[in-house]
Chain A
Amino acid sequence: MAEAATDLKEAPARPSAAEAPQAAPPPAAPPPPATAPPRMAGQAAPGSFIIVRDRYTLYCDKPIPSLDMPNAQAFEVTDRKQEGRPLYALICKPEMLPRVSVMRALKGHEMAHMLPMVDWGIAEWPPIDRKCAIVIYHRPLGGRLMESMAGGGKRIPDHLFPKTIIKPLADALIELGLKGITHRAIRPDNLYYMDEARTNIVLGDCVTCVPANDQPVVLEPIESGMCVPSARGSGTFADDMYALGATLLILAIGRNALQNVPDAEIIRRKIKDGSYGTLVSDERVPVSLIECFRGLLTDDMEQRWKPENIELWLAGKRLTPVQARAEPQSQRAFKFADMEFHSIRPLSYAMYLNWDKAIGVITDGSLEIWIRRGLELGDLADAIASSIKNSRAFGGQQKDQDDITLSRVLMILDPRAPVRMRDFRVALEGFGGSLAVATLAKQQLQPYTDFINRELWRHWITAQTKYHADNAQWETVFKDLRNYLKDTNSGAGIERCVYELTEWMPCLSPLIVDQYVMEVKGVLPALEVASKTVNTKLWPVDRHVAAFMRARYAKGVSTQIYAMNDPRPERATIVMLSVLAIVQWRLGPETLFGLASWVGGLMGTVINAYQSRPKRKEIEREMPKLIRKGNLAEIYNFLDNPEERQRDAEGFAWAKAEYAAAEKQAFDLEHGQIDRQESAIKSGQKSGAIAAVVIMLLTYTGFLVSNLF
């Protein structure tokens, strides 16, 4: 359905009660909460709908609030080929980046205990008058397992829990694991019953936002929970297992015991008491499930249960109890922010929470002394001292230096934690997604550029105590990003970073942002549409389009886009045309009348680069004919004919020389009056003398002849 053709029509007559599908009607949807944001269907004309793939009819005025996702809204869908098939569509919010690569992997696959994705694509969504990502799912007839994180829904009896809940979900994760996909949206309110009898449980949607963006902190491992939601990254299967464990625990208890606890406090408690203890709190946990929950909620990722462990546990095998690794403890407490700390990790998190106070204990050396003497970790103390020294070596404002220093010290204190710098908290893996979301939401990008330019990524990689093969790859990626940022030309900069990091990031050019273009192939058709509405004095290849093309189609147009930065306007303009012409020639479409007209209007500087006025007039006469053909390559070849250019240049040089020669001649004639008079006197006298001599000779001859004869 990608780039699907759409139709906006009047609603067809709904099937009558007698013609209604045999499938049971979906459960009545609860009314949307009073605080719900304005729905994307808010501006839909009554009865409007779209048809995608000539098959699915999406009703813009028939929302299903009960199936909404935090970043997508649900609408009714009917299938023209299979009438009565229960479907619904999730319309992704334009300011959120969906997981397109996961959509491509899940589309059409019937996976055990996964909400079946029927189709997905990009289509015009009339209520907001722009294209959106749309995902069509089978409609879960049994509704959600839990209405919200706050609770609600029927509690499952303890003896049925392993068979009806744990087993199916573990199977779903095994299947996802086989495909190499992490779900990252496992939570109680994202589990559904496919059947009306509420026996077949499935994992819900996981593609309508960047990984784990919608996950509450309580369901995320400590490190992931520390990140800003968009910067958690795809994570690992261990993260899914943790979310499964937390979800199961909440389902078993029947409510989220940490519902009203702030996120920072949840993380603090998890660090201090461990995840299991924090999530259980004072609630009663079924004894038979404790071992499973402990295994899944182990904070040590390497010891955390895998789906195979669940299978073994379900088969009745008793597994080795997970033992939490003890962190080094100090006899002497370290006082910070009116609290006492005996180990590093809680202190590290407290320092992050009290950012401005934390810089004091670093600069006065008390932290280093406590680690060296209290914990007797000389190497760690040395690393901190070295880090402080190195950070101070770089110039810049004091505040920035302090921030960098503290950020680096926190990395050393807690290497597993994400990069933290005031409100900016990202995992390396989640940086791309977070940057994409920030760009889509038009947020401030300064923290992201600082992250790259100040090499926080390198410091984080250096701070890791365990080797990860991925880190070497990240280092290469971020080095490239730093080079893109240094380059201020079109086709580089932060725009390039966005597109390089995120494979399915749509092009964010203001010209075509509404067209939701994810592939280079779609750029020209989108510009063709835009040509009818945008200011045609703007270049169609702006910074975003240039960066998008360089990231997605580097082999095809990289050289040309680089050449677009030529300081000569006529050269830059013709190169811009060449970029579009190459894309049209290689990827189509064959005709682009609107874009040809748009580009043709920008070619004034190129035409004026010809010195010959007759040639200019000839080009201006021919241009409308070429524009009517809609072929950019023809326009380019006509305007940038090297032989014509050469001829024009030579003719101009000749004309200049001729003008100069005429000017010199005229100057000589105008300024040679005195010389001319002198010359006239001399010549006049000479010619007078000659004439006189001739007259004399003729006179004598005449008289002699007349006297003699």
Chain B
Amino acid sequence: MAKAPVAKSMPPPASTKSNAFLYVLIATGVSFAIIPTIVVLSVALLPTGVAFLVERGKGWHCGVTVGSLNLAGAAPYLTDLWIHNHTVDGAIDVITNVWAYMVIYSAAGFGWAIYSTMPALLGSFMAMGAGRRIAALRDQQKELVQKWGPEVESVYEPEKKDKANSGLSNASLA
């Protein structure tokens, strides 16, 4: 059976406009469908918004950390909403629940705490590792000196050396 010839001409612009309309239509439909969720999140994610605002220009890590735990804090209420009563009333019940606020905002606070303490904690670990490595290197050097004598020693001074070299070259140029 012979195949039908494929049209080589570009699709008309009217088709593109119809697709966009379709997307907007779907998005509007979905928005109407998840209004309860949006209502809950708009109140629950206030700390996340604050985090993005406070740390703006310094990267996205703060917002992501706080936001993730903020969302995690909202998880019991949202999942309950989605599965049992995904209505605006259900959403209002959630946002009017003081305990819900406590849980959601505490989780966000925990996220903030992680964001604040993690670098210091890691820094301490890294410093400890460097100290151990320096001690190991000094031991290795000591062994080399014991075996080969002080003649094996050398001093590493990159900045001074560079300066000296540049001074020498300047002098020679002059």
Report A's interface with B, CB cutoff 8 A. 611-614, 651-652, 655-656, 658-660, 662-667, 669-670, 672-673, 676-677, 679-689, 691-693, 695-696, 699-700, 702-704, 707-708
Interface 0/1 of B83-112, CB less than 8 Å to A: 110000000000000000000000000010
Which of B71, B145, B154 is within 8 Å of A660, CB to CB? Answer: B154
Contact status A660-B114, CB under 8 Å = no
Chain A residues in 8 Å Cβ range of B62: 685
Report B's interface with A, CB cutoff 8 A. 59-62, 64-69, 71-72, 75-76, 79-80, 83-84, 111, 114-115, 117-123, 126-127, 130, 133-134, 137-138, 140-141, 144-149, 151-156, 158
Which of A613, A684, A699, A707 is within 8 Å of B122, CB to CB? Answer: A684
Q: 8 closest Cβ contacts across the A-B interface?
A: A684-B119, A680-B123, A692-B68, A684-B118, A685-B61, A688-B118, A703-B79, A699-B72
Q: Report the Cα distance A39→B153, complex, angstroms.
A: 67
Q: Report the Cα distance A699→B152, complex, angstroms.
A: 59
Contact status A680-B147, CB under 8 Å = no
A685 and B76 contact, Cβ closer than 8 Å, known pairs A658-B140, A677-B123, A692-B111? no
Contact status A611-B134, CB under 8 Å = no
Contact status B79-A685, CB under 8 Å = no
Q: Report the Cα distance A680→B125, complex, angstroms.
A: 9
Contact status B153-A693, CB under 8 Å = no
Chain A residues in 8 Å Cβ range of B66: 692
Q: Report the Cα distance A666→B155, complex, angstroms.
A: 11
Which of A612, A651, A680 is within 8 Å of B126, CB to CB? Answer: A680
Contact status A613-B123, CB under 8 Å = no
A655 and B152 contact, Cβ closer than 8 Å, known pairs A685-B65, A686-B61? yes
Q: How far is the CB of B116 from chain A (nearest CB, A)?
A: 9
Contact status B119-A680, CB under 8 Å = yes
Q: How far is the CB of A695 from chain B (nearest CB, A)?
A: 5
Q: A611-B151, A656-B148, A696-B71 are in contact. List 14 more A-B contacts (CB 8 A).
A: A611-B152, A656-B152, A662-B137, A662-B138, A662-B140, A667-B156, A684-B122, A688-B65, A692-B65, A692-B66, A695-B69, A700-B71, A700-B75, A704-B79
Chain A residues in 8 Å Cβ range of B118: 684-685, 687-688, 691
Chain B residues in 8 Å Cβ range of A664: 156
Contact status A651-B148, CB under 8 Å = yes
Contact status A659-B83, CB under 8 Å = no
Chain B residues in 8 Å Cβ range of A707: 79-80, 83-84
Q: How far is the CB of A66 from chain B (nearest CB, A)?
A: 71
Contact status A692-B144, CB under 8 Å = no
Chain B residues in 8 Å Cβ range of A663: 137, 141, 154-156
Contact status B123-A676, CB under 8 Å = yes
Chain A residues in 8 Å Cβ range of B114: 688, 691-692
Interface centre among A655, A677, A689 (most CB of B within 10 A): A689
Q: Report the Cα distance A655→B147, complex, angstroms.
A: 9
Q: Report the Cα distance A119→B55, complex, angstroms.
A: 116
Contact status B147-A662, CB under 8 Å = no
Q: Report the Cα distance A687→B145, complex, angstroms.
A: 42
Q: How far is the CB of B162 from chain A (nearest CB, A)?
A: 14
Contact status B130-A669, CB under 8 Å = yes
Q: Report the Cα distance A4→B152, complex, angstroms.
A: 55
Q: Report the Cα distance A686→B68, complex, angstroms.
A: 13
